Every structure is written in structure tokens, then in C-alpha cells.
């Protein structure tokens, strides 16, 4: 099948290479000339495990090409997929301008029957609007006879940064939102080779379902962080609580890891978007307001615990391990680590930070006086405390016998409970997790 994907961000590029791996012929389109040039040379524009290797493999197999010229490739496509960004506006609503701009470009250039799939996360009603824009642009271009042959579908992505390629090839489900049985069959064929349940549903169900999934997972994170805060007050261990309740199949253990809260490009904006969707339809979604409040407060509580132990932070040297919003990615969007570093700096702390892949991105948003260390151990030199803010596997593999000799005070604040089981107290460390004993 011939597939044109518009947008080469996390979703567009991973999906494009995934479909190419399934045997389809894929053209990835983006307006960013520099990004397309980089991809042409086989260089991934962001960090994702396994992505550079798959990119080169698919290029060598001739199954994927990159271009900035949509008009030159669109009329060879069986399927056209929209995978552009849908960021949050300042008021929390979704900015759909890129989606609608692409829809108009499709309509201006499309000269044959096709299925237009929206992969981007969009509010209810967006796909209907996309179809309207495409058909209007085709009508203006004089292709009235084709407008009724264009169908749209919502096929939301469920990719997690750091495991995106695996998530594409082995998803928990494939959701296909369609009105048309022929389009549904074509989209099923597009996913041949992937063994996963298919949920064929209405376009609107697929649109809303993606927001519901992310909002529910964010709710689990905020819930367990509230329990962690209670655990600290009453002297119990939240990790033992999770071990117990996680065995209940009605609850499960996923997304019940206490820490400094969620971040990234999806959860914050999708929670906000679902709140806005509810509000625009006259419903006050109070639970999601609390989810956001808890998430934001969790970061401040973590900083306050550091102050309670160290006192005034002015002039204190704090080593920070991790700047990306989670391990396995260089994405710092809505990163709790970045937020905490900014709060510490505002209180006068001297911060020395290390991250395996996200320091270049972090340098663009953090204050100039933040120091960046070449290694994790170097970051701890002369530190009054070490803060673990991202769950990078290499942090568990450190020689803590060496780390303890570098620090002024052998004190660890673990914002991810990532080192909780390493018995660091036996090495002379004073260790504080989130809700742990």
C-alpha cells in the first residue's frame, strides 16, 4: 500500500517507519527543510531507542522517502495520514491550526479517491471538520466529482516515548474510528502483520477515547502521589502499598509509581483538553482539575522536603540526575525535572545537572548559571545533596561507593523512588524517596 504521512515528529516518524517495516511504501512529508535534509542523511531528529537503525534499514530497503513537497507525492497515495502537532493554547484548548492547514493542502492537491486518516490527538468533531475542509478545497480546485469519494478516519496513536517502536509493532489495541466499512477494511489491511485487538468504532468514539486513556493514566499517577504523601505522614511505605493493590486485577500496578508527577508532551495537554471539552459542553470535570492540581503541587512538596532537611538553599550545591520528563527520551516538554531545577535555582541553590541525552535541550530553557556535568559522578562533586529526577537505567548502575566519596554530604532525594531498593543506607547515604521508608 502507498502511504503519505504528513508530519515527522514522534508520532509521524515512528508511525511512518513502522508502516514501512510492515511492508508498505511510505513517504513522510514535513515543511521543515532542515529536518527533511537530516532524515535524508539517515539521521533521526530526536532520541528514541532503535529509531536510527530502523530509519537506515527502511531507507536501504527503499520503503521510506522524505520530502517537503506534498503536491508531488499525494496522488500516488492510497492513504494520507495527518500526524502534525496539536499543542495546547494558553487557555488549555487544543491548537488545531496545523491539522486544518494540512487538510486544506490535501484538498488543494488531491486528484483521486483516498482515505484521510488523522493520527494526531484531536477533540471530538475534528475529523468531520477535516473532511469539510478537504472537500471544500477540492471543490474550489474544480474537482467536485471527487469530493464524495474522500473519506476520513480517526486512528489514534498509543506510543510511549522510549518504547515507541515496540508500542507500534506490539500495541495493546488498534482503534479505528470510521463511518465507512470499505475504509475500515483498508485500515485493517494497513495494519496486517500486527497482532492486536482491533476496536472498530465511530470517529467520535475514537477521538474522545484517546483523551480518556491519557487522562485516566494521569489520574492514577496523581492518586498514588496523594497516597505517597499520606504514607510519609503516617510512616508507611507506598511501594509496599502498590505491591499489594497492584495484584488486584481490577487495579493493576501500571502507572502507580509515586514520584514528582507526570510530564511530557501528552498527559498535561490531554488532561487539559479533556477538561475543556467537558467545559465547552456544560460539564465541570472536577476530578481532572484535582489531577492537575496534585501533579503541580507534587513538585513543590519535593522541593520543600529538601528545604526541610538542608534549610536555606542559598549557596547549597545540588547535584541533579535527569532532566528529561522520563527515561528513554530527550524530551523535556513539561518535564518535572526542569520545573524542579528552576524552583531550586530561584531559591538560590547552585545546581549541577547531568542527563544522558537531554542536556542540549535543557540548556536552551534553563538559566545560564545552571552547570552541566560531563558524567553523573562528576555532577556529585562537592554536592550537599543528590536529586534523582529521571529514571535512566544507568543511574541504578552507578558505583555508589565512588559517589559517596565525591559528595560533601551523602544525602539523596529520589524523586522517582528509582533507587529505593539499592540499600544505599548501607553505603553511608541518607536516603529520601517519595512515600518510602
- Is 119 annotated as a binding-site member? no
- Say if CB 271 and CB 218 are below 8 A apart: yes
Q: Does the annotation list 333 as a binding residue? A: yes
Half-sphere exposure of 200 (CA within 13 A, CB side): 12
> Is 263 labelled a binding residue?
yes
158 is in an annotated binding site: yes
Which residues make Cβ contacts (< 8 Å) with residue 193, sequence separation at least 6? 22, 23
259 is in an annotated binding site: yes
All three cell numbers of 380, joined, read 556529585
Q: Answer yes or no: 266 catalytic.
A: yes
Q: Among 142, 115, 145, which residue's Cα sits nearest to residue 130? A: 115
| CA distances to 94, 177, 407 from 146, in Å | 30, 22, 70
Residues 92-121 as b or e (16 or more Cβ within 10 Å = b): bbbebebbbebbebbbbbbeeebbbbbbbb
9 is an annotated ligand-binding site residue: no
165 labeled part of a ligand binding site? no
What is the spatial distance between Cα 437 and Cα 434, in angstroms, rounded to a whole number?
A: 9
Q: Is 129 annotated as a binding-site member?
A: no
Residue 375 known to bind ligand: no
| Three cell numbers written together for 410 | 551523602
Say if residue 30 carries a ligand binding annotation.
yes
The DSSP string of 75-115 is GG-SEEEE----PBPTTS-B--HHHHHHHHHHHHH--S-EE
Is 252 marked within a binding site? no
Give the Cα-Cα-Cα angle 213, 169, 13 (nearest 5 degrees).
80
Residue 269 labelled as part of a binding site: yes
| DSSP string for residues in 235-270 | T--HHHHHHHHTTSTTT-STT---SS---TTTHHHH
* CA angle in degrees (0–180, nearest 5) for 203-206-210: 150
Q: Are 381 and 405 contacting, i.e. CB atoms less than 8 angstroms apart? A: no
Is 286 known to sit in a ligand binding site? no
Structure-block grid coordinates of residue 182: 470499505
Say if residues 384 and 351 touch (Cβ distance below 8 Å): no
Spatial distance between the Cα atoms of 96 and 126, rounded to a whole number of angstroms: 8
> Rounded to 5, what percent of the chain is helix, strand, coil?
45, 15, 40
Is 44 known as a binding-site position? no
The one catalytic residue among 22, 218, 266, 379: 266
**Grid coordinates 510492515 are at which residue?**
22
| Cα(255)–Cα(251) distance, integer angstroms | 10
Residue 220 labelled as part of a binding site: no
The H-assigned helical ranges of 235-379 are 238-245, 267-280, 286-310, 336-346, 359-363, 376-379
Q: Is position 86 annotated in a ligand binding site?
A: yes
Residue with grid cell 537506515, as numbered in its chain: 56
Give the residue numbers marked as catalytic.
266
Residue numbering of the annotated binding site for substrate: 158-161, 210, 255-259, 263, 326
Amino acid at each position: 500500500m502507498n502511504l503519505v504521512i504528513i508530519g515527522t515528529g514522534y508520532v509521524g516518524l515512528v508511525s511512518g517507519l513502522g508502516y514501512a517495516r510492515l511492508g508498505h511504501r511510505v513517504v513522510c512529508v514535513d515543511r521543515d527543510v532542515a529536518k527533511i535534509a537530516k532524515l535524508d542523511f539517515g539521521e533521526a531528529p530526536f532520541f528514541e531507542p532503535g529509531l536510527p537503525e530502523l530509519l537506515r534499514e527502511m531507507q536501504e530497503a527503499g520503503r521510506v522517502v522524505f520530502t517537503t513537497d506534498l503536491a508531488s507525492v499525494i496522488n500516488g497515495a492510497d492513504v494520507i495520514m495527518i500526524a502534525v502537532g496539536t499543542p495546547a493554547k494558553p487557555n488549555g484548548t487544543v491548537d488545531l491550526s496545523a491539522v486544518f492547514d494540512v487538510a486544506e493542502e490535501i484538498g488543494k492537491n488531491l486528484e483521486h479517491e483516498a482515505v484521510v486518516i488523522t493520527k494526531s490527538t484531536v477533540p471530538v468533531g475534528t475529523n468531520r471538520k477535516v473532511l469539510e475542509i478537504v472537500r471544500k478545497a477540492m471543490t474550489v480546485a474544480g474537482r467536485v466529482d471527487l469530493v464524495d469519494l474522500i473519506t476520513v478516519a480517526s486512528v489514534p496513536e498509543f506510543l510511549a516515548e522510549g518504547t515507541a517502536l515496540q508500542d507500534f509493532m506490539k500495541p495493546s489495541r488498534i482503534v479505528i474510528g470510521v463511518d465507512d466499512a470499505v475504509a475500515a477494511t483498508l485500515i485493517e489491511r494497513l495494519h496486517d502483520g500486527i497482532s492486536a485487538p482491533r476496536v472498530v468504532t465511530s470517529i467520535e468514539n475514537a477521538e474522545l477515547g484517546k483523551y480518556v486513556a491519557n487522562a485516566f493514566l494521569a489520574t492514577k499517577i496523581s492518586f498514588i502521589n496523594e497516597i505517597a504523601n499520606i504514607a510519609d505522614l503516617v510512616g508507611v511505605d507506598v511501594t509496599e502499598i502498590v505491591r499489594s493493590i497492584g495484584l488486584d486485577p481490577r487495579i493493576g500496578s501500571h502507572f502507580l509509581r509515586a514520584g514528582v508527577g507526570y510530564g511530557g508532551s501528552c498527559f498535561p495537554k490531554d488532561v487539559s483538553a479533556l477538561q475543556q471539552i467537558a467545559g465547552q459542553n456544560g460539564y465541570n470535570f472536577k476530578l481532572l482539575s484535582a489531577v492537575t492540581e496534585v501533579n503541580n503541587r507534587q513538585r513543590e512538596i519535593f522541593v520543600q522536603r529538601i528545604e526541610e532537611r538542608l534549610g536555606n538553599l542559598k549557596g547549597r550545591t545540588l547535584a541533579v540526575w535527569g532532566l528529561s520528563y522520563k527515561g528513554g527520551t530527550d524530551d523535556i516538554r513539561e518535564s518535572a525535572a526542569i520545573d524542579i531545577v528552576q524552583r531550586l535555582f530561584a531559591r538560590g541553590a547552585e545546581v549541577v545537572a547531568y542527563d544522558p541525552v537531554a542536556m542540549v535541550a535543557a540548556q536552551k530553557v534553563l538559566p545560564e548559571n545552571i552547570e552541566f556535568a560531563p558524567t553523573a559522578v562528576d555532577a556529585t562533586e562537592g554536592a550537599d545533596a543528590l536529586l534523582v529526577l529521571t529514571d535512566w537505567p544507568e543511574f541504578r548502575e552507578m558505583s555508589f561507593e565512588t559517589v559517596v566519596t565525591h559528595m560533601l554530604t551523602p544525602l539523596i532525594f529520589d524523586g522517582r523512588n528509582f533507587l529505593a531498593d539499592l540499600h544505599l543506607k548501607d553505603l553511608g547515604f541518607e536516603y529520601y524517596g517519595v512515600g518510602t521508608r
